[in-house]
Chain A
Amino acid sequence: MVTTSPATDERPLRFPLTSRRRQVWVVSAVCLVLSLIGIVRSWTDPQIGLPLRPGLDFTGGTQIQLERSCADACDSLSTVTVESQLQQIELPNQEGKALPKLENARVQLLDGGQSIVLRMPALTAAQGQAVIEALEPVAGPFEPGGQAVDTIGPSLGGQLLRSSLISLLVAFTGIALYITVRYDPRYAFLALVALAHDIVIVCGVFAWLGLATGHEVDSLFAVALLTIAGYSVNDTVVVFDRIRERHRMDGDLPLSTQVDRAVSATLTRTIYTSGTTLLPLIALILFGGSTLYWFAIALALGVIIGSWSSIALAPSLLSIWPSRSGAAASA
């Protein structure tokens, strides 16, 4: 396929990876350790007890979002008013089940008090409507058609988590097999190491967010992690593809030189691609609204970390792989 290109690229290295690989490992190791501390602290936190602070999608409960209709500005409303109103609600009974308690309801005001978000234990559809009606006098009038009520049973969150984990494992296995067949088992192993690195760090950041600001992860976060996994591997594969190509051309040079050249040759591409993937994500962060805001942030973080692991971490680990590599790669 290759016809006329000169065998070696004489241009100076733009990123001398091998000479800096210790720094690369230190950076990645520090990030990983910080992330793991966050995850473990969250896990041991009596209030959370899980690696990440789970949102409604995983714990179950009811979330009601109401858009207030105000002509110019909404009259001021405090969460306390809403909370005290909630205490007085008499919920319609549901036979055979205890009435959910509204004392622990969490009230949040968004968009300068224009929308109200309530989080409560799981309510039935009728009870949810009763809550909305009861709030109308203090916080209303509400925008017709501007309300969202989500009630989720706790078993569904577990199911989502389980199916996500299974599909992630299957995807990993499939990708590892594909890379093993197309390239080399080492490449497959390192692509998965890079992938685990990316996912742990993103989870770590959100674990810290959960500890510090009480941010909860929802089911979209699970989707974001799955996407980061796909993106990270794609990114790493391109760099590996170039290393393999260099290997065919300058097989007599040390492996670390081949890796350096391949990384330098793909550097622009990796940065441009990350940049062009970040652009729509930034647009989502800016204009996508509250539903997709944290989703886009998680993805953007994953893209940045994914680029780092494919430019720096995975190739630098490849360059120290024990010498059997020479025989394997030239096969």
Chain B
Amino acid sequence: MARQQGWFALILALAIAAASVLSSFPLQLGLDLRGGSQLTLEVQPAGEITIIGAEQMEAVKAVLDRRVNGLGVAESTLQTVGDDQLVLQLPGVTDPTRAADVLGSTALLEFRAQQAETQEEVQNLRQLRAQLLSVLATRTEDEATELDAEEQEELARRQQELGLDGTATSETEQLQQLLARTNQEILNRFEPTAFTGKQLISAGRQQQQNGSGWEVTLNFNAEGGEKFAELTQSIAGTGRLLGIVLDGELISEASVGPQYKAAGISGGTASISGNFTAEDARDLEVQLRGGSLPLPVEILEVRTIGPSLGAENVRRSLIAALSGLVLVGIFMLLIYRLAGAVAVIALSLYALFNLAVYALIPVTLTLPGIAGFILSIGMAVDANVLIFERIKDELRRGNTLIRSIETGFSEAFSSIVDGHLTTLISCAALFFLGTGLVKGFAATLGIGVLLSLFTALTCTRTLLRFLMSYQGLRRPTNFLPASQLPSTAS
């Protein structure tokens, strides 16, 4: 009995935990349920690169990440799928034309030289940018810390200087606009050169000799080495900077020391240092590599679904899931009486646990995912049916109720485990080898099968034993019609 109560307490605790998980972590809905666009992109081999490897993918993804961020879509995600594909999700976007345009072009990496006589201007702008970045870093979207009067004045002055009218709604937005404008202004002070990413062979990173930080190394081809030497010679010692521009955005500025005045940075290699952390260096390195790879990206698939159509899908699958559960519940009550009531409670717990696990992992719910869940309900019911049929068999043979229940559970055990494990094997194969919607389906079905094993073997059992501790409920006719009991039953 003490063990029983232990199980009972565990189930109750799990149910409460599941409910609280659900209330604090929202379920994540896939694009087919909330509306939005999904683009599948394939990186095409080109030139000397005949096979797309992990390194190329990382580089291309870094370039695309930057462009996706430029789209300004909240919660957009870009993920690598398989060997050479990327999936971009844009929640809420129903016209993916711009995204398709932006992603379709190949990366353009340029090295630009700062214009003469702009040193002071650029110095000021860079200072402003550093200031803005540090202010923005302390602000999150929800937390609207007000700028003090002095700062506000400064902001207004700067906005006016750069020709912004300051009409953006929130201070954070105003700051961001100002930052974007500042970046643009800095970029305007740089002029294009003949030197582009095509002449860059590779980029790497290494720890600086004195161990204080990281530096990014560049490797050029022969032509690039010459041009780079020319370029650096022209700006060395003048205080002008070398700008690295990816897809029209400045990603780094470097100064060239006066010692290169005579011959420029020659030898086909260069390094950029500047208090980089390992992470900063890595970011820059990957972007440089991406920029040096002119790999075309082809759009294989665009799926767009409007938000109201998505909401309709949610509504319909909810109705289907609920009515399915209700129908199954009625069926169980009619056939198995008291045990059916236990099954209904166990199945409700099952549904609750499932949703909690989806929210916790989190599993992004898609339409096939919901179908997998609805199907796993069928599996969960099957476990209960197996147990109750065995109990009925034992009762018909004239066994006592308590003994029938125990035997029923122990005899159904192997069928339940075998049935669930074989389904789990398929789920694992589908999950690890399948793609896209197959994966989502396998995930929910697999989670469902695991949980069903738990609820059938513990929840149903504990609840049934708990009810049997009440004398009044301990009647075989609570389980099957009297006509099916042997006449000699005690």
Contact = CB atoms under 8 A, between A and B. Distances in A.
Contact of B415 (A129, A171, A238, A282): A238
Nearest to B324: A280
A317 interface: no
Contacts of A223: 368, 371, 437-438, 441
A327 interface: no
Interface in A184-234: 219-220, 222-223, 226-227, 229-231, 233-234
Interface string A251-294: 00000000000000110110011011101111110111101100
A279 B321 CA distance: 10
Contact of A175 (B382, B397, B411, B425): B425
Contacts of B394: 5
B434 interface: yes
Contact of B95 (A129, A164, A241, A268): A129
Interface residues of B, number: 86
B427 A292 contact: no
Interface in B451-473: none
Interface stretch (B111-119, B209-217, B301-309): B301-309
B324 A279 contact: yes
Contact of A289 (B313, B335, B399): B313
B323 interface: yes
A4 interface: yes
A67 B323 contact: no
Contacts of B302: 125, 128, 149-151
Nearest to A273: B382
Contacts, number: 265
B97 to A, nearest CB: 4
Main secondary structure of the interface of A (DSSP, over half): helix
Given A3-B407, A148-B304, A287-B323, A277 B382 contact: yes
Contact of A226 (B381, B393, B396, B438): B438
Contacts of B436: 160, 219
A1 interface: yes
Contacts of A291: 32, 313, 367
A152 interface: yes
A288 B301 contact: no
A170 interface: yes
B40 interface: yes
Interface in A114-142: 124-126, 128-129
B43 interface: no
B319 A277 contact: no
Nearest to B424: A230
A78 interface: no
A48 interface: no
A219 B32 CA distance: 15
B132 interface: no
Nearest to B372: A227
Interface of B: 32, 35, 40, 42, 82, 94-97, 99-101, 298-309, 312-313, 316-317, 319-321, 323-325, 327-328, 331-332, 335, 367-368, 371-372, 374-375, 377-379, 381-382, 385-386, 389, 393-394, 396-397, 399, 403, 407, 410-411, 413-415, 418-423, 425-430, 432-438, 441, 445
Interface of A: 1-6, 11, 65, 67, 124-126, 128-129, 143-153, 155-156, 159-160, 163-164, 166-168, 170-171, 174-175, 178-179, 182, 219-220, 222-223, 226-227, 229-231, 233-235, 237-238, 241-242, 245, 265-266, 268-269, 272-273, 275-277, 279-284, 286-289, 291-292, 295-296, 299
7 contacts: A159-B435, A171-B425, A226-B434, A276-B332, A279-B328, A283-B374, A287-B316
Given A222-B438, A286-B323, A292-B371, 5 more contacts: A149-B303, A152-B301, A164-B438, A283-B327, A292-B320
